[in-house]
Structure 1
């Protein structure tokens, strides 16, 4: 995939990268795989190459930056996208850019789960719980709750609010998931809570990731049939 952003006026590199990061994160969510950039290039409209016939072509320059990850692509036959461009179209991409901005405090740590390679399940549950808390907080406000009322909602209610939108597309029992995930999350977060078996926490982690990915896809316009077939 090739991403190009153009600005009418000169701007800093980070202003361009905001959109590039957002699109890259959308692909990560669809594939649930760590997908990075292959390369970066930039050009200024005042710097062009003149070719015979009086035609001017933009001259692109390679960019090296520590702000992004650049890696060789690794894609196997087993890798699949939960949804693709045909499922969301231009409208869905526009919705994603808006969603990514409004829900950044929850979606950023969610996507960053892909960067926790080698981390313990406790680390994954903790970060996923942070994502659920932030997404649920924003979603309650979107549904009409005040900041104070949304802030008082426990994590189980925040998770259940997402479940309500996509319950028929999930591969696991949705009605009890909020409580089960809250038990795993609180066992990691609070030293005085009962410990949960690591295998059970791993199950709750995988189910939580599925829930957030399908909730995002639902918000972008992906059909329930497509989400159910994704498993």
Structure 2
């Protein structure tokens, strides 16, 4: 078995941390639907591992360790298949006897395969991810296909092409680029071969930067695609590198960067949509300058955009929850637009809800496929109905429709902010596939 962690894996091996006085211990590394975890056992409460899990309670009075070590942020697992560095760890869940043995579970937010030392991969120099829908949106491919007739027989030739690279510049010390690639995946024990058409989003920094600082830029591109078609898209980290972990051959020589394979919980890829799902925001409209404009816009209007974009993940929530989640984003958008107009923070903060929504409408009203004034009236009434107990409770279908129309308002505003002409936005919204117009089923 290679050094892999497919879903359902259970491996037994040794655990190493950054503390010199912790004893050797055998642990079980597991990847399950719940995440990446290591189960650690101890023979008595005096063993240092016990304090990782029982620090919030579990020791009998007088038996607590005098100087317990905190849960390490990184641990290394090693068995006959290889090594795995687990990063951004925390302890959750244990079972123990008051004076005897016990066991606890250490969880990790990512696993870096092949790393044998306690390297700070929670602060990498580079991070690479796969974002669903991004390759198709960019219109790039790593394969060319040719069809011809040879002696009356149809022949197809599939050929790999040099990778495409789109450089998106420096963003607060992180260089962002998009690179295409291909891969041939054999079917183990079978006769099939799978040809992959890939695209990676990569960030690099000269100094190590926090994992989430890297990931913020990756998620910015994912969010752009979410707003474009209003469908869920995945962003899965697949590789990382650090400058102190170069590629080293058996003779001890170094050979540049070594991008390590990364495993993260929840790495399911969103499949492509079935049927026709047109984009509201297209790469040919934006180009590199437009993508950079979006990244800056997302940062400046995060309080407005984040609640709207994240409402995509509330598929099983009630209509009340969706509008209550999205409403603060609409309030923030109106507030930030008024600030951009030149108003003071005090004046902008005192603006009533209706005035904020009307300010948003002044930017998008001509493009919407529904009456903007009616949206303002309904959104103000129904959102206030949720917030204030002395008002009538809005109908669930009405709440769902107001939420959907509000999402389209924000998507429209983003399209116009990114420079897409009003006439083109209006035309595309007519064919947009965002679900709207909900009604009661009989």
TM-score, normalised to structure 2, is: 0.48
Larger Rg: 2
Using the alignment, how far apart are the partners of 1:55 and 1:81 within structure 2? 45
Q: Which structure 1 segments of 5+ residues have no match?
A: none
2:261 to 58, 62, 66: 62
For 1:115, which of 300, 313, 324 is the aligned residue? 313
Q: Deviations over 1:26-54 (max 9, x none)?
A: 1111121111124421123561367xxx9
Aligned mates of 1:138, 1:175 — CA distance in 2 = 20
* Equivalences, count: 226
Distance 1:92 1:121, change over 3 A: same
> Which string of whole-angstrom CA distances, capped at 9 and with x for unpartnered residues, describes residues 149-168 of structure 1?
11111222111111111211
**Larger RCO: 1 or 2 (CA < 8 Å, sep 6+):** 1
Q: Where has structure 1 moved over 4 Å in runs of 4 or more?
A: 54-57
Distance 1:182 1:70 in 2: 38
Deviation at 1:20, TM superposition (A): 1.0
Alpha-carbon distance between aligned partners in 1 of 2:274 and 2:254, rounded to the nearest angstrom: 42
Deviation at 1:56, TM superposition (A): 4.6
* 1:73 paired to 2:270: yes
Q: Deviations over 1:55-102 (max 9, x none)?
A: 956322122345xx5322222224332111111122221121111111
CA distance in 1, matches of 2:268, 2:227: 18
Report the 3-state secondary structure (helix = DSSP H, G, I; strand = E; otherwise coil) of the residue aligned with 2:410. helix
Contact persistence 1:43–1:58 (CA under 8 A): yes
Aligned residue number for residue 304 of structure 2: 106
Counterpart CA distance in 1 for 2:384 and 2:229 is: 29
In the alignment, structure 2 segments of 5+ residues that lack a partner are 1-133, 135-199, 430-442
Task: Pick the structure with more strand per residue.
Answer: 2
Would you tell me which structure has more helix in proportion to its own residues?
1
CA distance in 1, matches of 2:282, 2:238: 23
The alignment status of 1:48 with 2:247, answered yes or no, reads yes
TM-score by length of 1: 0.89
Q: In structure 1, what is the Cα distance between the partners aligned to 2:362 and 2:261? A: 46
SS of the residue aligned with 2:269?
coil
| 2:293 is aligned with 1:95 | yes
Change in CA separation of 1:49 and 1:32 when aligned onto 2, cut-off 3 Å: farther
Of stretches 35-44 and 96-105 in structure 1, the one that deviates more from structure 2 is: 35-44
Distance 1:72 1:102 in 2: 29
Q: Which residue of 2 aligns with 1:180?
A: 378
SS in 2 for 1:41: strand
SS of the residue corresponding to residue 405 of structure 2 reads helix
Q: Does the 8 Å CA contact 2:232/2:270 hold for their aligned counterparts?
A: no
Decide which of 235, 238, 249 is 1:37's aligned counterpart.
235
Distance 1:226-1:56 versus aligned 2 partners, 3 A rule: farther
Distance, in Å, in 2 between the alignment partners of 1:30 and 1:57 is 38
Matched with 1:212 is 410
Question: 2:211 is matched with which residue?
Answer: 13
CA RMSD of aligned residues (A): 2.1
Cα separation, partners in 2 of 1:195 and 1:12, compared to 1, 3 Å: closer
